[in-house]
Amino acid sequence: MSKHIPRKRFGQHFLSDSHIIDAIVSGIAPVAGEPMVEIGPGLAALTQPLVERLGHLTVVELDRDLAQRLRGHGQLTVIESDVLRVDFAQVARDMNVPKVRVVGNLPYNISTPILFHLLDYVDVIQDQHFMLQKEVIDRMVAAPSSGDYSRLSVMLQWRYAMENFLFVPPASFDPPPRVDSAVVRMVPLADPAPVDVKLMEEMVQVAFSQRRKKLRHTLGAWLEGRGYGGEFDVQRRAEEVPVADYVRLALELKPAAG
């Protein structure tokens, strides 16, 4: 079989370090028969050890050549698609299960859109394990008042418990990327606040639109425009506000969201 040439437009960097692969698979801890979906299986470096433990695996692959190769594997169901177009609720229905586990080495150029896409399907997801640019994971798990605390931190932490559990150096890939990578574990919170996600997204985006300025210049004006009369300290900067405060504010605004 001819060697697959990594495609730049798909952000392809293939995992090739067996020790790192073992560590990731151990962290995921797949159990035979579990419903699992892998995003971007590539050359099957993770796919093969996962399917050996699971018995069967569903994979989402955009690259036509790779999807064709993967179809030759008897234990895989291949969804040839852009992951941003995949309806994970339908995938769970097709597998006849209430929830699926999701794993993947996410393409670094669209990792954030993928995370937000999956947020729409969080009710049918048991957990997520992703390899990402370390810089992105640092933002995902960041605490308030740190340089990495951002819109991404707030939008994911209100819905998931997250842990950065493995560092992955560039040498673990072929070709080596110019950045460090890491693996994050994301477990949906059992009892999340019933916020309006679109409203929360808009609110957090406004808050972080000028992160150096105090919130009165950004979120303050936005809240005024919505006729908000509650108490929220806009003398802080966006990065100083804990996730719980953003959630509380989103809940107070919920009646106006309709």
Contact assessment for residue 213 and residue 237, using Cβ atoms and an 8 Å cutoff: yes
Instruction: Count CB-CB contacts under 10 A for residue 175.
Output: 12
Judge whether 82 is annotated as a binding position: yes
What's the sign of the alpha-carbon dihedral 213, 247, 184, 85? negative
Residue 147 labelled as part of a binding site: no
CA–CA distance, 248 with 180 (Å, rounded to integer): 35
Is 135 annotated as belonging to a binding site?
no
**Is 33 marked within a binding site?**
no
N- to C-terminal Cα separation, the chain: 56
Q: Known binder of ligand: residue 15?
A: yes
Is 196 known to sit in a ligand binding site?
A: no
Name the binding residues.
Answer: 13, 15, 40, 61, 82, 105
Name the binding residues for S-adenosyl-L-methionine.
Answer: 13, 15, 40, 61, 82, 105
